[in-house]
Amino acid sequence: MNIIGLNAFHGDSSACLFIDGVMVSAAEEERFRRIKHWAGFPSESIRYCLDSKGLSLSDIDVIAINTDPKAARWKKIAFALSGKTSLSLIREKLLTRKKRNGIEEYLQQSFPEQKFDGEIDYIEHHMAHLASAYNVSPYDEASVISVDGFGDFSSSAWGFGKDGNIDVQKRVYFPHSLGVFYQALTQYLGFPHYGDEYKIMGLAPYGKPVYREQMDQIVSPTSDGGFELNLDFFQHHTNPIGYQWDGGSPKVSQLYTDKLAALLGPVRAKDQPLEQHRKDLARSIQDAYERTFFTMLNAMHAKHQCDNLTIAGGCGMNSVANGKVHLNTPYKNVYIQSAAGDAGGAIGAAVEAGKSRAVSSDFVMSHSYWGPSFDDAELAQLLSDKQSELESAGCDVQSDLELSNMVDQVSDAIIDGKVIGWFQGAMEWGPRALGNRSILGDPRRADMKDILNLKIKRRESFRPFAPSVLQEQVKEWFESDAPVPFMMKVFQIQQHQRAKIPAITHVDGSGRLQTVTESGNQRYYRLIQSFYQKTGVPMLLNTSFNENEPVVCKPEEALDCFLRTNMDVLALGSHLIIRRANAS
């Protein structure tokens, strides 16, 4: 059975393809459209999934989308009749529902030469999230939790997974939401764009949680292990909030009311400096999220008495909180797949559609490399086509390098302080660059962070860079030996090691690591291993291969990014493009 799962008409639109219960391809629409967090119908992701296996729409049995307009119907009606909202907000919700019911029309527009005769399944949003983590995890039994903004009138859901099935036991319904809490406070701190929440995580270690009392007035736990917002500080439940999912970058209007400024002080404009009290607010926001999240997890563990946990939803991207689960709850084993947010809901939608047709999804998602890949012939042709441009840019090209030669030269270049573009194999699924679409540097150099921000990334100075670490060496460098293949957890670096790797050690002594194994990514593992053999440091600084744009997908995008920035070396498959020292 061939099933396509979708996250559509929402931020981070995406598609994946399952064949007989096993995922074979997956990609986010932003990588093809070149617009961050692209929202709408993911036609190009669908096209990639079909083309990757030589299929057409007529070969697809089911298309499953991670939303069910019929979910929580009576709760929606009751809220609409309660007098607590506006007609304009109700109208906005109805228009969104109409779009999600029009998948057949979008398919016809996007694939006019193909015919889809299969079925369309609508899977409740949080069930899709829960399945996207539990059903591809290594656990037969696990507590399961999904936390995000909103989906199908819920903001959170949790329960228990056993023998491939999920029992949803608790939900938090609209208008209460940890995702909205975090997003609204992110806006208040002067980061207005969709997806800016990770900036609060990066800023938080520079402050102290001195606003804990105020945060407790905004969000508080409930006796049943849930939470609630003080709605006086929010307006998402009374007015249209301007979510735009019509194609392009998502836009969200102001979520908070003026009472928030009365409680916490003046709103920061995005171009204002980040004074210490703003850093303290960031830490207090993160602290409030963590305390609420861990309250939920502890209530779950008390009920389930199981040490395995899977996390999904947009808040599942909070790697700082994820890395503290083992310190603040009894859970010992935590799985978060590489696209924990809404993009990952496409996986859960496909899984649930298969379950209803007696097709089990019994594979473990142990790597993230599900996107487009390009063979060496394609790469060689690109370099041939760009030969004159490369010569004008002062670049030398070496081709058909053996892996041992490639990693030896690249590790030497990293040791020399060079910045490397590393484009190999299949593109990653999810927001993290995990060794196939990465920019690499030397973690030992105290100036590497500034070099990267100056040469390529051009981003806020407080944001940290991440280490990719040989799995077998993690315990020697971090206060954990847990596998973290998807860079979804932040751990403290061993105190005596921090001075050796200043470029990836955050101000609080932490690092958001990715663990690398030879079986998971041989080429990347061999490169880190070569660097380790020469330096005694078993890791590289890794950041995403982009420049204020989505992570590169195609080799021509990688080459363009390399040429317009000041990267020193580009490893493109078996080819090395080296910028001469005197080239500008």
Half-sphere exposure of 377 (CA within 13 A, CB side): 0
pLDDT at 244: 56
- Helices then strands, counting H and E runs in the chain, come out as 21, 21
pLDDT at 87: 60
Torsion of CA 207, 209, 214, 217, to 10 degrees: 130
Question: How far is Cα 277 from Cα 264, in angstroms, rounded to an integer?
Answer: 10
Residue 329 has which token pair?
A: 């709850």
Residue 305 has which token pair?
A: 């008495």
CATH of region 376-579, choose from 3.40.50.1110, 3.40.50.1370, 3.40.50.2300, 3.90.870.20 = 3.90.870.20
Same fold, 2-130+347-355 and 376-579: no
Query: Taking the domain 2-130+347-355, which CATH number applies?
Result: 3.30.420.40
Q: 329-371 pLDDT, tens per residue?
A: 999 999 999 999 999 999 999 999 999 999 988 789 999 999 9
Omega of the bond leading into 538 within 30 degrees of 0 (cis):
no
- What is the residue-averaged pLDDT of the chain? 94
Q: Which position has the higher pLDDT, 96 or 556?
A: 556
Closest-CA residue to 1 (of 343, 355, 277): 355
Q: 306-334 pLDDT, tens per residue?
A: 999 999 999 999 999 999 999 999 999 99
Amino acid at 439: I
Question: How far is Cα 71 from Cα 226, in angstroms, rounded to an integer?
Answer: 20
Query: Taking the domain 137-337, which CATH number applies?
Result: 3.30.420.40
Q: What is the pTM of this model?
A: 0.95
Domain ranges of the chain: 2-130+347-355, 137-337, 376-579
Question: How far is Cα 317 from Cα 319, in angstroms, rounded to an integer?
Answer: 6
Pairing of strands 510-516, 466-470: parallel
Pairing of strands 308-312, 333-335: parallel
478 DSSP β-pair partners: 493
Does residue 531 have a pLDDT over 70? yes
Give the mean pLDDT of 427-442. 98
